Amino acid sequence: MSETPPESPDFDAMARDIAEVPAVEVIVTVAVNLMSAAAVKLGLTEEGDTHKDLDEARKLVHALAGLLDASTTEISSFHAAPLRDGLKSLQLAFREASLVPDEPGKGPGEKYTGPVYG
């Protein structure tokens, strides 16, 4: 009995689909994915500390801050405001989760946002 190979992805169709998505939607989707991944790595999900990894969380929060900083003029405040609020929440959660908190201005993403205080 031979198995049929899985269908290969239709990259032309995927490229056409991506071409139809506005840049703002792509930026927001990437930001939300970074936020979700950071929350998991910070242990903020139902699984709690199961996937907690502060080194990974630091990278994700820093990348999110960089993306939001770079796209400030490209996305409206309607989209940017909740993303900035989410970023600040993640930065504060990181600070709380750290055994030795970073100095103000030295935490993940604070290079882009400035110091984050509770």
Q: What is the DSSP string of 1-62?
A: -PPPPPPPP-HHHHHHHHHTS-HHHHHHHHHHHHHHHHHHHTT-STTGGGG--HHHHHHHHH
Q: Do the domain assignments include residue 115?
A: no
What pLDDT is recorded for position 89? 97
Q: Do the domain assignments include residue 1?
A: no
Domain housing 91 = 19-95
Q: Do the domain assignments include residue 79?
A: yes
Q: Do the domain assignments include residue 63?
A: yes
pTM for this model (two decimals): 0.84
Q: Do the domain assignments include residue 32?
A: yes
What pLDDT is recorded for position 6? 67
pLDDT tens-digit series, residues 15-39: 778 889 999 999 999 999 999 999 9
What pLDDT is recorded for position 1? 54
| pLDDT averaged per 10 residues, the chain (length 118) | 67 80 94 98 91 97 98 91 96 95 94 91
Q: Do the domain assignments include residue 74?
A: yes
Overall number of domains in the chain: 1
Q: Do the domain assignments include residue 104?
A: no
Where do we find the tokens 């993403």?
A: 109
